[in-house]
Amino acid sequence: MELQVHYEEKPCYEIVIETDPNRLPEKLGAMAIKNRKLCIVTDSNVGPLYAREIQALLAPYAKEVIVHTFSAGEENKNLNTVSDLYRDLIEHKFERSDMLLALGGGVTGDLTGYAAATYLRGIDFVQLPTSLLSQVDSSIGGKTGVDFDCYKNMVGAFYQPKLVYMNLATLKTLQEREYLSGMGEIIKHALIKDREYYQWLQANLSAIKEREVSVLEEMICRSCEIKRAVVEQDPKEKGERALLNFGHTLGHAIETLKVDTYKKELALGSKEASLLLHGECVALGMLASMQISKERGWIDPTLCQSVKKMFLDLELPITTSGITPEAVIQASKNDKKMEDGKVKFILLHGCGEACIDRTVTEAEMKTALDSILEESF
C-alpha cells in the first residue's frame, strides 16, 4: 500500500505501508544507495529488536550500513543526543550524499530528522516508524526537532523525509500501554476531520485492541491519509495544520508537568511514580478541549461521553492527579503554540469538525482542567 505525499504541489515522498520489511531494499535502491553510506539511528528499546535485521537486509545493497543507538526516552530527545550522533557520523566520514534511517518511535524520528536537517546543512533521511504513534502521526509531514531545557520541540526544522516505510509487524512487539497510547492520535484524526472514521473506530474497537492485521492496515491507512491531506495543504503550519494540535496545547503542558512530578516522586523514593505517555496526555488534552467546546454549546454532551467511553475501553486516562490547573495554565503559556501572547486552542464544532480558536479564557481553561484533574495529591 503506497501513498504519495506532495510538498508545494510537487511529489515529495511515498508512505509505504507493509507487513514486512522486504520491499525496503527496492524502495531505497531507487535512491541509489549503492553509492551511499547509511546510518540506522535507533534507541536502546527498538535497536535490539530490529536494527541488526534491517542492517543485514540493506548491507548487500548499500556502500556501508552502520547502526547508531541512543538511550531510549523522551528525556534524551535533546541537543546532547544529537551531538553524539553528529560525532558518530563525523567519525564514519559521512558526507552530504549519505543518508540516515530513523528506526523507532516518535522520539527517534524527530531527533534523526533534526540531525539530518542540520548535519552538513542537510542530508537525506528516511523514516522507518515502529510505533503506532509514529506510523500514523510523527513520521509524516516533516516536523523534526528536539526538546530544549524544559520546552518540548523548541528547537527544530521543517525537513521532509525521502521515504516513510512502515512494517506493521513491528506493532506486535509494542507494549500494550504504548500501543494503546498511539490510539490517542488516531482518535484525534477522527475527531478533527472525519466523523465516519470515528464511527468506524467505534465499530472496530475490539479488533483494534486485538491488533488484527487487516483492521490495523485500514486504520493506519486512513489516519495516514488524513495526516497527509492536512500537511500537504499547509506544510509549515501557517493555518490548517494547527488542527493537528487538537489536545496538544494542554496535553503538552500536562506532559511536561508530569515529568517534574515524576522526578520529585522518584527523589522521594516513591515506587509508584509513573510517567504519562504522549498519547495519554493528548487524550487528556482532547477531553479538556472538548469540555470547553461543550461549555460553549458547540458540541453535544453525548460526544464527550462517547469519547470518554472509547478512552476507557482503550485504557487511555480520563483523569490524572498530582498537578494543579494553575500550573497547567502557566505551562501552556510557555508553550510555543502561542501567537501574539494568546494561547492557540483547537476546539470542536462537532465530531470531525475542528477549528482554531484564540479566545479561550483562563476561566474556561480552569473549568475544563477541573474536569480532568483529580484533586488528591
Residues that bind its own copies (CB under 8 A): 35, 79, 83, 86-87, 90, 93, 95-97, 117-122, 143-145, 148-149, 151, 153-158, 236, 334, 336, 338-341
Query: Which residues are 293's β-sheet partners?
Result: none
Closer CB to its own copies, 97 or 319, in the complex = 97
Calpha distance 197→189 (Å, rounded):
9
Nearest-approach distance from CB 266 to its own copies, in angstroms: 26
Please tell me the distance from the alpha carbon of residue 251 to that of residue 256, in angstroms, as a whole number.
Answer: 9
How near is the Cβ of 33 to its own copies at its closest, in Å? 14
Q: What is the three-class DSSP state of 29? A: helix
Q: Which is nearer to its own copies, 52 or 87 (CB)?
A: 87
Exposed (0-12), middle (13-18) or buried (19+): which is 356, by Cβ within 10 Å?
middle
Query: Grid coordinates standing for 255?
Result: 506532559
Kindly tell me the burial class for residue 187, based on how many C-beta atoms sit within 10 Å of its own C-beta (0-12, 13-18, 19 or more): buried
Minimum CB distance to its own copies smaller for 96 or for 349: 96
CA 351 to chain CA centroid, Å, is: 22
Report d(CA 163, CA 32) in Å as an integer.
13
Half-sphere exposure of 150 (CA within 13 A, CB side): 12
CB of 101 to its own copies, least distance (A): 20
Nearer to its own copies, 52 or 96 (CB): 96
Nearer to its own copies, 88 or 194 (CB): 88
Classify 104 as helix, strand or coil.
Answer: strand
Whose Cβ is closer to its own copies: residue 195's or residue 333's?
Answer: 333
Phi-psi region of 9 (alpha: psi -120 to 50; beta: other; left: phi over 0): left
Provide the residue count of the chain.
377
> Which is nearer to its own copies, 199 or 334 (by Cβ)?
334
Q: How far is the CB of 333 from its own copies (least distance, A)?
A: 9
Residue 82 main-chain phi, psi, to 5 deg? -65, -40
CB of 72 to its own copies, least distance (A): 23
| Cβ closest to its own copies, residue 61 vs residue 158 | 158
Torsion angle of alpha carbons 20, 163, 114, 276, nearest 10°? -40
Least distance to its own copies, CB of residue 323, Å: 22
Least spacing, CB of residue 185 vs its own copies, in Å? 19
Rg of the Cα atoms in the chain? 20
Q: Is 229 exposed, middle or buried (0-12, 13-18, 19+ CB in 10 A)?
A: middle
Cβ at position 132, least distance to its own copies in Å: 24
CB of 242 to its own copies, least distance (A): 11
Beta bridge partners of 38: 65, 99
